[in-house]
Amino acid sequence: MIKLYGVPLSNYYNTIKLSLLEKGIDFEEVMSPPNQEADYLAKSPMGKVPCIETSDGFLSESSAIMEYLEETHPAKPLLPTDAYARAKVREMNKVLELYIELAARRHLGSVFFGAPRSAEATEEVRPLIEKGLAAVKQLGSFDPYFCGGDFSYADIFGFYTFGLANMLTQAVYEWDIVAEVPGLGATMELIGSRETTQTVNTAMQAAMDAFMEQKKSA
Ligand SMILES: N[C@@H](CCC(=O)N[C@@H](CS)C(=O)NCC(=O)O)C(=O)O
């Protein structure tokens, strides 16, 4: 059985957990925060979460994991069958990762972990996200899903990317980036209403509540 390493506070972990649930793949969760211990680095070379343990071996990097799951469990596809349409889903996810998630992530430390807010990041991140949002608008259909009529990996990755990035942009800029993309709010609601997503989100919320509680008493 596949083992999924990570923590439910992680948007990347939740992306893979939702992918596994959507595909109906049996898996076991191994609670493991990101770390630089030799034992964990042997599993996930950057020490990041998630990683999975399969009968073939360990695998890290969410996009590689998603591709692996698609190839090994094609019965419930999360990529379209047409080559161009598949590439468009991958294009969307790359844009989401590079120009929304990683850009907004520069504020993670200051918003959640008490790090000082960087003036440089505050200035640089917003224009990058503006460009990313323009690309997401251009590429997405939101009719009703990110890339058209079928639920795909773009919805899974997009849901957790915007979930985190929007918290960060609201905290730093009072800027609701979901509201910037016509149709995205309804798509987010639709994805959030799935039973699978609710399973993931229940665990995420419990972890978030515990984290906030711990922060208050620290
Ligand atoms: N490129 C990685 C990113 C994963 C990632 O950044 N995970 C975060 C948790 S959400 C992490 O492990 N952070 C700890 C670190 O960067 O050392 C992927 O696609 O899986």
In this prediction, residue 21 carries a pLDDT of: 98
Q: What is the set of domains in the chain, with CATH numbers?
A: 2-72 (3.40.30.10), 83-217 (1.20.1050.10)
For residue 218, pLDDT over 80 is answered with no
Rg of the chain in Å (alpha carbons): 17
Cis peptide before 144 (omega within 30 of 0): yes
- Which residue's CA is the nearest one to ligand 1's atom 18? 61
The Cα–Cα gap between 178 and 166 comes to 7
Q: Is the CB of 160 under 6 A from ligand 1?
A: no
Phi, psi of 119 (to 5 degrees): -65, -35
- Which residue's CA is the nearest one to ligand 1's atom 10? 10
pLDDT in tens, 171-205: 999 999 999 999 999 999 999 999 999 999 999 99
Q: How would residue 217 be classed by pLDDT, with cut points 50, 70 and 90?
A: confident
Q: Is the CB of 61 under 6 A from ligand 1?
A: yes
For residue 58, pLDDT over 80 is answered with yes
Mean pLDDT along residues 168-172? 98
For residue 215, pLDDT over 80 is answered with yes
| pTM value surpassing 0.85 | yes
DSSP 145: B
Q: Is the CB of 93 under 6 A from ligand 1?
A: no
Tokens, residue 113: 């972990």
Phi, psi of 187 (to 5 degrees): -65, -40
pLDDT in tens, 116-165: 999 999 999 999 999 999 999 999 999 999 999 999 999 999 999 999 99
CA of 149 to the centre of ligand 1 (A): 30
